[in-house]
Chains A and B, each alone.
Chain A
Amino acid sequence: MAVLRGNLMERISKDDVKHVAKLAELEFSEKDIEKITSQLDRILEHVANISSVNTEGITPTSHILDIKNVFRDDMAEQSVTQESALKNAPDEANDGFKVPKID
């Protein structure tokens, strides 16, 4: 059964799920891909019901407050020390975070 998503008639495929997993820096086993594809399909099918709502001329809401940019004076203050910033690091070297080779 094809479902209407926005202006798109399509279902989410296993390849879509693999692509999204890559974007999200996640990985799944083949078996899990199968399961998550059908779960996402069902959820996306449900939420696609908003495509039928008339929103012409309606402004999107990102959050409910009137607050726009919040500025403060540009004053130097004591911030987190290097030592405490590294306290939770899985690996460190030369006062920095250490990571495997960048590929």
Chain B
Amino acid sequence: MEIHYLTAHQLKDILEKKQISCTEIVESVYLRIEEVGDRLNSYIRLEKESALSRAGEVDKLISAGSDIEDFMGMPIAIKDNICTKNITTTCASRILENYIPIYNATVIDRLESRNYILAGKANMDEFAMGSSNENSYFGTVKNPWDTDRVPGGSSGGPAVCVAAGEAVCSLGSDTGGSIRQPASLCGVVGFKPTYGMVSRYGLVAFASSLDQIGPLTRDVEDCAAMLNIICGYDRKDSTSINVEVPDYKSFLKADIKDMRIGVPKELMVEGIDREVKEAVYRIIKLVEDMGGIVEEISLPSLEYALSVYYIIAPSEASSNLSRFDGVRYGYRNVEARTLREMYRRSRAEGFGDEVKRRIMIGTYCLSAGYYDAYYEKAQRVRTLVINDFKKAFEKFDVLISPTSPTTAFKIGEKMEDPLTMYLSDICTIPVNLAGLPAISIPAGLSGSKLPIGLQIIGNVLREDNVLKVAYSLEKAIGFTGRPGL
């Protein structure tokens, strides 16, 4: 198989056997980017020169006898809302087009200590708001399986880089499904860890009580290896959990005998494509063949999860995005003659339509007279969602569902109707409200050769169960599809 489609652990093996150099790996990835990059638009910025020079340094380390650690010398794509020191971090917004962070996000420091290589900054929906990657100031990202279709969002760029061989793996962020849904639509693995397991320091905030950084990879093994690097306490993030970090790779065992697996019936109802449902039923059969115990369960409050999310996330966003005022960084309208006029015009010209829409929803929900009916009420219903999950996990080790109700939809199809677009995240949003760990793995292809994703949800801090089931099912499903471009 082509070098650019190998996983990080496969590349590590052949690096150890001296069958390849790190420079050759980086060169092959950039060759691939040159071949398909214009058609996919998955990167906002490439770092070819520095990547090649870093690769040379890593090759020297290896020939000097250094141990080869996971992801050492691997070209990795980073979503452009994760701060990289001295390298633009735009959030795919005009307002941050020229923003150059003066510090690294904690996850970047952690990767640098493992000698990773920054391939480039990946495209995304502006400020991570979107489910199709059509809301980028730098243009729509295309799905490599069918370039007339969306890759999902908001981590569309990171998902496409992994699916099309433009990076070995990538980091994205997930507020309501922004890692899992594009992973599903592009046929790769995407993981959202328990809230608080990965430091959010240096992740440009969208909705702080929901945001979490996580990996997009070609298989579950790479995903576990990446969790080993990025998870762990960070004093710079006051919502970081101070618990011992397990060796996530130790959970990669293909054995789910006697594990209890619940299927929330609220995530298998109307709006889910027939083919997507069938894929889930096929997997239920596989689970049973492997000795797992599958049962349907009801989580009644999930019916309200979308509403809760579309009050809480925009409310937090409207507050977080108030910092973009044209004073300390970012775009400024230079014609404005007074401060207030400068604020308004800079923000009106700097933000795109969806970002403005969400700032408006959030500001409305938090404004005098509406706070109790919207924001506080949503926070109470959020508690009910959490209670439903708690109850479910008394009985089950994991829950499974489709990741996305449909396969990749056509570019432009949902742009005129925000509410229909929001429904794309119906299966992933409840997980963020409860802060749970969840993965999307490829479940197969639809009749029209588009990837379908399966979501596996675990209880808080039970990444072990999620990885175990994901690894077992990945082996049983045996998905080997590659986009034909």
Contact = CB atoms under 8 A, between A and B. Distances in A.
Nearest to B327: A97
A103 B340 CA distance: 7
Contacts of A16: 364
A60 B338 CA distance: 40
Contacts of B342: 99-100
A23 interface: yes
6 contacts: A6-B372, A47-B308, A47-B378, A55-B380, A67-B196, A89-B328
Given A7-B373, A47-B374, A65-B195, A12 B381 contact: no
A80 B378 CA distance: 38
Interface in B89-110: 98-100, 102-103
Contacts of A28: 348, 356
Contacts of A72: 235
Across the A-B interface, the 8 shortest Cβ-Cβ residue pairs = A6-B373, A60-B379, A64-B435, A88-B329, A90-B332, A55-B380, A103-B338, A63-B209
Given A42-B419, A46-B419, A49-B307, A55 B384 contact: yes
A34 interface: no
A39 B357 contact: yes
Interface in A1-38: 5-8, 12, 16-17, 20-21, 23-28, 36
Nearest to B383: A61
Interface residues of A, number: 54
B239 A65 contact: yes
B339 interface: yes
A58 B380 contact: yes
A53 interface: yes
Interface in B315-338: 318, 322, 325-332, 334, 336-338
A21 B362 CA distance: 11
Nearest to A48: B307
Interface string A51-70: 10101001111111101001
B169 interface: no
A64 B434 contact: yes
Given A17-B360, A64-B435, A80-B102, A43 B418 contact: yes
Interface of A: 5-8, 12, 16-17, 20-21, 23-28, 36, 39-40, 42-44, 46-51, 53, 55, 58-65, 67, 70, 72, 80, 84-85, 87-91, 97, 99-103
Contact of B238 (A67, A88, A89): A67
A89 B329 contact: yes
B330 A27 contact: no
Contact of B367 (A20, A46, A58, A97): A20
Contacts of B325: 25
Nearest to A86: B328
Contact of A65 (B372, B377, B435): B435
Contacts of B372: 6
Contacts of B103: 80
A15 B343 CA distance: 21
B364 A102 contact: no
A88 B95 CA distance: 12
B345 interface: yes
B418 A24 contact: no
B344 interface: yes
Interface in B267-315: 301, 304, 306-308, 310-311
Nearest to A98: B327
A65 B339 contact: no
Given A61-B380, A63-B209, A97-B327, 8 more contacts: A7-B373, A53-B304, A55-B377, A64-B196, A64-B435, A88-B99, A88-B329, A89-B328
B168 interface: no
B376 interface: yes
Contacts of A39: 357, 418
Given A25-B325, A97-B327, A87 B100 contact: yes
Contacts of B364: 12, 16, 20, 40, 44
Nearest to B195: A64
B241 interface: yes
A7 B139 CA distance: 42
B210 to A, nearest CB: 8
B347 interface: yes
A20 B330 CA distance: 23
A87 B102 contact: yes
B243 to A, nearest CB: 11
Interface in B75-89: none
Contacts of B195: 63-65
Interface in B219-249: 235, 238-239, 241
